[in-house]
Structure 1
Amino acid sequence: MTAVETLRALHHGPDLPLVLPGPWDAASAKVFADAGFPALATPSAGVAASLGYEDGQTPPEEMFAAVARIVRAVDIPVSADVEAGYGLSARELVGRLADVGAVGCNLEDSDHASGALRDPREQADWLAQVRAEAGDGLVINARIDTFLRGAEGEGAVEDAIRRGRLYAEAGADCVYPFLAPPPRLADIAAAVGIPVNVAVMPGGPSPRELGALGASRITFGPGLQRRAMAAVAEMAAGLRKELGR
């Protein structure tokens, strides 16, 4: 199978949930690949931090260049978090992803200019344009930011399901209801009808537990990069202590 066929098949394979570590540079990508993970999913916040930017502030040229370095470092499929698409047309976005070798992408439904949720039908139309440009050559993970933007309760779950159904109809391979309550994952997955991506959160359920709750795909956001930097900070503090400073 091609890389994109492999990544798509992993969302439906026998070894669910599919766990996709989030590399932030070429070196971390190689570590995860050498450990035996079948695919990777870059986190925009983790890559941003590695490049010296705040989340959401990375120039697209630098983000795509970072993804290209990650793809070159490994021989397994890589999906790229490209936030809300950086204002690119569907054709430009699909072309940039193909140029750097990414075979999947995250696309979120937040409007970065206003910080608000996009109209779900407008977002679905956008996803349909991306699907039309990519054909079967891209695994699309459609992020749903209902919970991130502060919605709570049954209305928030219903909104996430409504958005998820629209995005599935538009051609998304997977939906990502970011910060959805773990006990409601099975309800969302059953109602939407395609795989559900869930991020592991500090103090939250483990990947195995999230899989049992209904997640088919597990990612980590910037969590792994932050854990690595915490280890570096501890190392730096130890060096300072050795120097007596």
Structure 2
Amino acid sequence: MVTRLVALAKARHSNPAKIEWEGILGDWKKMKPFLERDSFNKCAYCEAPTSAVAWGDVEHFRPKSIYWWLAVCVDNYVFSCQLCNQKYKDDHFPIAGTQLPAPILPAALPTTQTALKLLVSNFCPDPATAIEAALLAAWQTEDPDLPHPYLEDPEPLFAWAAVETNEEVHVLPPDNASPRAKRAVQAAVDYLGMNRETLARQRYIVYRSLVLAVHAWKQLDDALSLKQIQFMCQANHPFAGMCRYYAHLAGAPFSR
């Protein structure tokens, strides 16, 4: 991590206009298997499974084109499907707070490795040694519209609505939504394509299975149907957040 940060500082210093993300500066793909595992082989944004349809990307939550000093920060990585990442989010990162200031590099970089390590530790802490709370507190001053799927629970911010005529399920703000929830939903729609037609229809297929299980559980007191509901609410299931929303409305007990 420190070696990459030093290389990043040198690259930025030598060419402030454009960093070439090659070699050691572009090897964040090494983190992909770990991020994919932690996301249960689903896009961390839209919760669609990537293993069957796409390879998925290591996405920079804060775009590296703007937040260059966080390009090699592991806590800034998100496992994302290619549509959410490349077609929609791209370099968008709307915030309501104050943008993090870019580090100012000295006119001449330190010549010793010790001094270089001290310099880079000030603008991108190593997650292996940094105090997580301090790092998150600094990031939260930006108040980003998009919730970070690993560092903030997005479920309280989202509600879901089935559109039976189109056989789609759309994301929307909850009733009496807070300003934060309204911003989060709008950003998810605008910058992640969360209501794109193909995704909304994939959700509907899962939704219909959940509705049938809920109906059988309520009408027949069917234990197997309750197990099916609980299975669909587990974190490794596609669109589990949507499933938990509807299971909660139905009063079905489940654990995350």
The TM-score bracket by the shorter chain reads under 0.3
Higher relative contact order (CA 8 A, sep 6+): 1
Output the TM-score relative to the length of structure 2.
Answer: 0.23
Output the TM-score relative to the length of structure 1.
Answer: 0.24
Which structure would you say has the larger Rg? 2
